[in-house]
Structure formats: structure tokens, C-alpha cells
């Protein structure tokens, strides 16, 4: 039996509205988090450049942790969305609970890693001895309670997969407001109290995350996928399936992170000024991802639910339609970036040479925005269908064979500088989009064919009776 919200066939206009209702809150949530990241950096910058570097390197380690926690969310999201679509709410609850248990175990593991190996991790990240002491203070405070990072990510994934993107957005809004207030007070102090400096920035982050985690769990308890961590149940184990789906996503994110470390090193070889310009362009480009990420959440939820409801053709159509909407959104962003690149660069720097390089980077990137839209949304749709390997393959090939080789060839060997670097990045994005599109169409042709064969066999069986 199909869910009530899936019974009636929707018009294209109704489908677009359903997509946007899921995507817009997710977009806003991502924008809020990005803005808070900028504010956090701004506050720490008032302490000094050493502190900025210390926090930046510590957050690079935390980003690796988060990538693995997000991978667990990918596996959980796929199974929960399909279960909700099939009206198998007990399975959705079981997956939600078991993925939470996995997140707790992994979060505690990385907390222990942080407790005992902070200095070693920071050394591996290339931190200088003068930075390690300050960076280790921040990393230990933020990283030891990694279980709360893991739980925040998994709770948000559970609610979104069940079709509720508004609650994670609202929690993010209040959590980020609290974060900014705590940041200022704990870093700089209040009245005669001078504050805790870099440790204050870390504690502000931890307190906000703990409160955000509790708030999300409260809303899960009120949702249709409500579960209790403290009671046993007779539901089957889905641990192996969650891990099987999550592992390729985890590998993909590790490939991406390791690739970034390597190609950042290559860009440094091109020149310090080029690296600075690349960093500024990358910070500006971050905002262009927001519509794509939001629409990817919508694709994951809707494609997964319709597959669970055994309406594979409509699942396919939602993936295509969501991709089309993302292309429109991000094409407009590309046009904006192309024409306003110099003004965007001037927000970050007054150096004429840097502004010119950032402008070149953003104008090249502007042409890659439609392909970036395709890659982000199709990845979400494939993961909803249970295919977490194809995005992993595309990231491995794109990052290591196209982006890194391209940056070395164009940026260093042919001495094209910032233009060569961003042409290589654009080529990676375009080729990845082509591969993922092919994979999406191929996968759904097969799924639709299998569904039709199954329906024909069922019809023949009924007729024979």
C-alpha cells in the first residue's frame, strides 16, 4: 500500500512545488552554517594569524571525521526514504535507531583518537610546531565529544529522509545564533572577564552542537520515525546493510579529502599569491553549492520514497526534474559570478593582482555551474536508489586522474597559473556530471524493466487463477 502523499499522481507544477518545499529549507540550513563559519573565522582572526591557522588546521581534521559521519547518514537516508515510501514505518524506525547506534560507536572512537593522538594528527596535517600547541587545545575540546557531531549529522539525515527538512533548518537557525553569541562571549569575555580565547571558540562550538543534538532528538521523538535508544525491540538487524551502503560513501569522502590535500600542495608550488587567490575563489564558490546541496536532499528523499513505493518510473522522473531545477538555479548563479566576479573578489582583498586572479577563477567556474548542479543532484538520487559506489568511482577518477593531473599539467607544466588550475577543476566537474548522468539513466532503465517484468508475471499469475 502506498503512502497517502504518493497515491495521487502529481502534475509537473505539483512535483516542482514538492521538490522546492524539501529543498529550500535544506538550502537555508547550508547557507546558515556557511555564514557562521565565516563569522567564527572573523572572531578568531581578531586574536591573531597564529590562532586562525590553528583553528583552520584543527577543523581540517574535524572535516575528515564529519565526512565519515555523513557517509553513515547516506546509508541511513537511502533505507529510511525507501521504507517510508513503502509505508514500512517499523523498518524506517529500526534503521533510524541502528544507524544512530553506529554513529555513537564511530563518534566515541574518533573522540578517543582525538584524546590520545591530537598532536600526531596535526603533525600529519602539516602544522608547524608553533601552531600545534594552540591547535591541539582547540582540537581536543571540539574533537573529544565527536559523538555529538556524529549524532547531529545522523539525526538531521533521519528527519530529511522522512521528508522533514524544515525542522533541521529551524534547529540550525537557533543553534547558529547561539553559536555566534557564545563565540563572542567565550572568546573575548564579558565585563572584567577576559574570555578564553581560542579555547572559548572551541567551547562555543561544542555547547551549540550538544544543544542542537538534543533538539533534533526531541523532534525525532515527535516524528513518525520515533525510536528509543534505551529499549530493545524484535526488529531485524539492518547494521550490515547500513554499513554496506555507507562504506563507498565514506571512501568517496576520504578520496576527496586526500585529493584536496594533494592538489592544495600543487597549488602552493605554483605560488603563494596563486594559492591565496584560489582560497578566496573557493570561499566564494562555496555559496554556489547551496542550491545544489538543497536539491540533492530533495532528490534523495523523493527518489528513495518513490522507489520504496514501487513507482520506479516516477522516482526516475523526480530525479530528472530535480536536476533540471538545479541547473536553472545554478546557471543563474554562474551568470552572476561571471559578471560580478571582480566585486566579489574585492570583498576579500584589495590587492589588484589577487582580484584579477580570483576574477579569472570565478569566470571559469561560472561555466561549470550547470555541470556541478547535475553532479550534486544525481549523486543524491543514485544514493537514494542504493547505488553509493558510482559516486565513489566518479570522485576517484575525477579527483586523481582529471583534477590532480590537470592542475599539474595546466597549472605547473604549461605555466597557466590560476587559469590552468580552474580549467582542470571545471573539466573534473563536467566529466563527473557526464558519467553520473549515464549511470543514472542506465540504472533506472534496468530498474524500470525489472519492475515491468515483475508486474507482468504477477498479472499472469492472477489471470491463471
User: What secondary structure does DSSP assign to 326-381, as a single string?
Assistant: HHHHHHHHHHHHHHHHHHHHHHH---HHHHHHHHHHHHHHHHHHHHHHHHHHHHHH
Structural domain boundaries in the chain:
19-237, 248-455
Asked whether the beta carbons of 451 and 310 are under 8 A apart, the reply is yes
User: Using CA atoms, how far apart are residues 358 and 340, in angstroms rounded to an integer?
Assistant: 11
| 423 torsion bin: left (phi>0), alpha (psi -120 to 50), beta (else) | alpha
- Positions of the chain with pLDDT under 70: 1-8, 455-465
pLDDT, residue 7, reads 44
401-410 tens-digit pLDDT? 999 999 999 9
pLDDT, residue 273, reads 87
User: Using CA atoms, how far apart are residues 53 and 62, in angstroms rounded to an integer?
Assistant: 14
Please give the C-alpha separations between residue 254 and each of 61, 258, 394, in angstroms, as whole numbers. 12, 6, 13
pLDDT, residue 26, reads 93
Phi, psi of 288 (to 5 degrees): -70, -20
pLDDT, residue 294, reads 96
280-307 tens-digit pLDDT? 898 789 888 999 999 999 999 999 999 9
Grid coordinates of 339 = 559578471
- Nearest C-alpha neighbor of 289 from the set 61, 26, 20: 26
User: Using CA atoms, how far apart are residues 286 and 36, in angstroms rounded to an integer?
Assistant: 13
Grid coordinates of 238 = 539492518
pLDDT, residue 270, reads 87
Please give the C-alpha separations between residue 451 and each of 301, 311, 459, 460, in angstroms, as whole numbers. 20, 9, 12, 14
pTM: 0.89
Amino acid at each position: 500500500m502506498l503512502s497517502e502523499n504518493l497515491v495521487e499522481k502529481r502534475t509537473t507544477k505539483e512535483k516542482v512545488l514538492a521538490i522546492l518545499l524539501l529543498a529550500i529549507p535544506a538550502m537555508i540550513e547550508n547557507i546558515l552554517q556557511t555564514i557562521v563559519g565565516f563569522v567564527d573565522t572573523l572572531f578568531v582572526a581578531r586574536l591573531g594569524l597564529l590562532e586562525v591557522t590553528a583553528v583552520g588546521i584543527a577543523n581540517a581534521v574535524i572535516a575528515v571525521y564529519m565526512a565519515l559521519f555523513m557517509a553513515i547518514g547516506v546509508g541511513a537516508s537511502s533505507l529510511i526514504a525507501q521504507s517510508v515510501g513503502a509505508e514500512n514505518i517499523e523498518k524506517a524506525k529500526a534503521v533510524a535507531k541502528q544507524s544512530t547506534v553506529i554513529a555513537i560507536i564511530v563518534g566515541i572512537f574518533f573522540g578517543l583518537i582525538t584524546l590520545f593522538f591530537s598532536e600526531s594528527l596535526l603533525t600529519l596535517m602539516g602544522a608547524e610546531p608553533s601552531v600545534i600547541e594552540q591547535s591541539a587545545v582547540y582540537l581536543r575540546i571540539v574533537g573529544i565529544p565527536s559523538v555529538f557531531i556524529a549524532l547531529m549529522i545522523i539525526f538531521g539525515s533521519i528527519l530529511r529522509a522522512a521528508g522533514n527538512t524544515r525542522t533541521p533548518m529551524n534547529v540550525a537557525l537557533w543553534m547558529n545564533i547561539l553559536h555566534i553569541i557564545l563565540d563572542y562571549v567565550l572568546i573575548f569575555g564579558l565585563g572584567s572577564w577576559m574570555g578564553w580565547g581560542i579555547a572559548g571558540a572551541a567551547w562555543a562550538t561544542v555547547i551549540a552542537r550538544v544543544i542542537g543534538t538534543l533538539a533534533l532528538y526531541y523532534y525525532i521523538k515527535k516524528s513518525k520515525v520515533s525510536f528509543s535508544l534505551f529499549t530493545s525491540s524484535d526488529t531485524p538487524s539492518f547494521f550490515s546493510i547500513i554499513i554496506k551502503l555507507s562504506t563507498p560513501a565514506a571512501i568517496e569522502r576520504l578520496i576527496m579529502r586526500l585529493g584536496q590535500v594533494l592538489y592544495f600542495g600543487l597549488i602552493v608550488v605554483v605560488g603563494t599569491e596563486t594559492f591565496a587567490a584560489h582560497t578566496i575563489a573557493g570561499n566564494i564558490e562555496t555559496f554556489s553549492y547551496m542550491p545544489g546541496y538543497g536539491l540533492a536532499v530533495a532528490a534523495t528523499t523523493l527518489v528513495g520514497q518513490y522507489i520504496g513505493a514501487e513507482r520506479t518510473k516516477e522516482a526516475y522522473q523526480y530525479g530528472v526534474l530535480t536536476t533540471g531545477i538545479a541547473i536553472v538555479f545554478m546557471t543563474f548563479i554562474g551568470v552572476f559570478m561571471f559578471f560580478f566576479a571582480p566585486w566579489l573578489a574585492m570583498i576579500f582583498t584589495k590587492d589588484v593582482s589577487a582580484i584579477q586572479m580570483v576574477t579569472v577563477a570565478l569566470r571559469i567556474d561560472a561555466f561549470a555551474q550547470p555541470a556541478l548542479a547535475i553532479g550534486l543532484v544525481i549523486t543524491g538520487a543514485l544514493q537514494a536508489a542504493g547505488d553509493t559506489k558510482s559516486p565513489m568511482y566518479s570522485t576517484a577518477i575525477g579527483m586523481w586522474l582529471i583534477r590532480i593531473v590537470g592542475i599539474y599539467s595546466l597549472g605547473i607544466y604549461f605555466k597557466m597559473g590560476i587559469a590552468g588550475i580552474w580549467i582542470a577543476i571545471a573539466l573534473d566537474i563536467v566529466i563527473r556530471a557526464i558519467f553520473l548522468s549515464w549511470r543514472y539513466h542506465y540504472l533506472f532503465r534496468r530498474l524500470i524493466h525489472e519492475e515491468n517484468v515483475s508486474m507482468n508475471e504477477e498479472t499472469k499469475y492472477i489471470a491463471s487463477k
